Structure 1
Amino acid sequence: MKSSTSVLLTLALSGVLTVTGACGDKNDNGDVAATAGAASTSAVASPEADAHTELTKAFDKLTRVTVAYTTTTESGAAGTSKLTGFSDPATKASSGSMTITAQAQQITAEVVVVGTDLYLKLGLPIPGVDPKKWMYVDGSKTSLSKLGLGNPDDPANVKGLADAIVTVERTGTSAFKGTIDMTKRNLPAASAVLIRQMGDAAKSVPFEATVGAEGYVTSLTVKTPGVGQVPATTATSTFSDFGKPVSISKPASTEVQPAPAALLAQFA
C-alpha cells in the first residue's frame, strides 16, 4: 500500500483533488440550447434548470481560452497541496508548480506538458537523477493517464463538469452550490481507482462555484468525503487571466533526462 505522501502526490498530480471534471462536452448551440428553447414554449424553466444551464456555459467557456489557475487542497492529516499554473487549450499545453506538505515533509514539483511530452522536476532525492534537470516521459508510449495526469489542455479537469452535476442551485447573483457524481468522469487511471474505493459517497460530492462578469467560472470549491485511502479533502480553485497570452515551451535538450522506472511505478 502506498504511503499517504505517495497517495497525496498521485492525487495532486492527477487533479482529482483539484477540480472534478467529467467526460464529454456540451455545445453552446447544441443539446443545452435546444432543451432550453423547448422548455420556453411549454413552461417556464425551473430555477435549478436555469442555474445548470448558466453554470454549464461558464465551464465550457473556461475550457476554450488560456487561463491561469491556482488550487489549494486541504486533506487533514494526509497533508496539503498548492498548485499554480497556466493552460493553453489551443496548443494542448500546460505548466504548473506545486508544493505538497505531508508527514512533516515538503515536496515541490514542476510540470510542463506539451502535447504528449511530459517534463517533470521533483524536489526529492531520486537515485540516478540530476535534481537540476527535467525528467522526460514520452506520453505517446506511456499514457499520461497511467501516470496520473489528465489532459494537457485541461489540467484543472473542468471539461464537461456539467455532465457530473446531480443538483445545483443559485445562492447569489453569481454564486452556485450543489452536488456532483464523481463516477461520471473521465478520470486518469490512478484517480479512478481511488474514486471507486469511495463507493456511493462519490456520487454526491458537494461543490460551490462562482461565475465572473465575463461569464467564466472564477472559483470552485469541492469537498470530497474521506473513504479508504482517499482522505477527506477541501479543494479550492481560482481562475483568472482569461484569454491572455501564455508562453509554454519544452525545456532545452541539455536540461532533460529520462524519467526513471522507479518514479513511473508510483503512478502505475
Structure 2
Amino acid sequence: MKSSRSVLLALALSGVLAVTAACGDKKDDGGVAPAAASGSTSAAASPSADARTELIGAFKKLTGGTVAYTTATDTGAVASTKLTGFSDPANKTNSGKMTITTQGQQLTAEVIVVGTDLYLKVGAPIPGVDPKKWMYVDGSKTSLSKLGLGNPDDPANVKGLADAFVSVERTGTGAYKGTFDATKRQMPAAAGALLQQMGDAAKSVPFEATVNADGYVTSLTMQMPAAGQVPASTVTTTFADFGKPVTISKPAAADVQPAPAALLAQFA
C-alpha cells in the first residue's frame, strides 16, 4: 500500500464486506457458511420440521464451543479477502489472519481479540508504527463492531441472523437456501453506509447454507448486492473443528504498541 490511509481503507472494506451479512450484536443467533460438507445432514431435520427453525438452531450451536472458520469475499476488481481463524466463545477470544488484495496490491493482517482487548498487526507501512509489533486497541473505549468485529462472546459473528431471515427452505438433506434482510442486522457505521447504497436489494440477500449430521452449520454462501462503487460480491464462510481445543492468548507486552490515532479515527 502507498499510504496508511490506503491500508486502513483496505481493512475497512474487508471488514465491511465480511460483516455486512454475518456480523451482529442482537440477542438471537444466526450463522454463515458456503460449500456443502460431504455427507452433511441436518440433525433437526424431519418431514414436518420448519426449515427456518432448523437453520436457526444450527446457527445457535456455533456459539456453544470452539470453532475454526474461513471466510472468503470476492468483490471483483475492487478487492478480494480471505480470513482464517479460530474462536472460543466461552473464553471470549478470537484470532484471525487476513489477506486483502485491492488495486493490484496485497495486504496481510492478523487480529487477536481477548475480551475487550484487540491486537492488530498489518503487513504494510503505517507512519509511527513498528511493523514487527502488535497495535493495541482498547475495545472498552471503542466498540469492536466499529472495527468490523463481532462481540468476543460471539467471535464467529452468528448472533442476530435469525431476526433477519426473510425466507428459508430446505433443498436437501442438510441443505438450505433463502434470503435475509441485511438492514435488520446491527452493523458497523461503514457497513451501514454500504447498506443504504444497496437500496431495496439489501432487504432480500440470497444465501445457501449446509448443516452436518451433528447439527452444526458447516457452510454459508451469501450473494451481496452492489453498493455504490463496490460491485456485487460473494461471501463464503465455512466452519469446522467444532469443540476442538483452541489456545488464544495476548501477545507479550514487549511486542505491543498503542494503535495510532489515525487508525482509530477511521472507525470512529
Question: What is the correspondence of 1:162-177 to structure 2 with a 5 Å cutoff?
Answer: 162-177=162-177
Question: What is the correspondence of 1:95-174 to structure 2 with a 5 Å cutoff?
Answer: 95-174=95-174
CA distance in structure 2 between the partners assigned to 1:64 and 1:231 by the alignment: 35
What are the Cα deviations for residues 226-248 of structure 1, in whole angstroms up to 9, with x where unaligned? 02144311011000011111111
Identical pairs, percent: 71
124 and 103 in structure 1: CA distance in 2 versus 1, 3 angstrom threshold:
same
165 and 112 in structure 1: CA distance in 2 versus 1, 3 angstrom threshold:
same
TM-score normalised according to structure 1 size? 0.85
Corresponding position: 1:198 with 2:198: yes
Moved over 3 A (4+): 3-8
Residue of structure 1 equivalent to 2:11: 9
Report how many residues are paired: 247
SS in 2 for 1:145: helix
Offset at 1:21? Answer: 5.0
Write the letter of the residue equivalent to 1:9: L
SS in 1 for 2:144: coil
5 and 140 in structure 1: CA distance in 2 versus 1, 3 angstrom threshold:
closer
Question: What is the correspondence of 1:65-104 to structure 2 with a 5 Å cutoff?
Answer: 65-104=65-104
Gaps in structure 2 of 5+ consecutive residues = 30-45
TM-score normalised according to structure 2 size? 0.85
Write the letter of the residue equivalent to 1:16: V
Gaps in structure 1 of 5+ consecutive residues = 27-44
CA distance in structure 2 between the partners assigned to 1:22 and 1:145 by the alignment: 8
18 and 179 in structure 1: CA distance in 2 versus 1, 3 angstrom threshold:
closer
59 and 234 in structure 1: CA distance in 2 versus 1, 3 angstrom threshold:
same
Residue of structure 2 equivalent to 1:19: 22
Residue of structure 1 equivalent to 2:226: 226
RCO higher in structure (CA 8 A, sep ≥6): 2
SS in 2 for 1:56: helix
CA distance in structure 1 between the partners assigned to 2:7 and 2:167 by the alignment: 33
Offset at 1:255? Answer: 0.2
Residue of structure 1 equivalent to 2:64: 64
Alpha-carbon RMSD across the aligned residues, in angstroms, is 2.2
Residue of structure 2 equivalent to 1:42: none
CA distance in structure 2 between the partners assigned to 1:11 and 1:220 by the alignment: 20
CA distance in structure 1 between the partners assigned to 2:73 and 2:63 by the alignment: 21
What are the Cα deviations for residues 95-135 of structure 1, in whole angstroms up to 9, with x where unaligned? 00000001110000000011110000011101111000000
Q: State the structure with more CA Rg.
A: 1
CA distance in structure 2 between the partners assigned to 1:147 and 1:175 by the alignment: 32
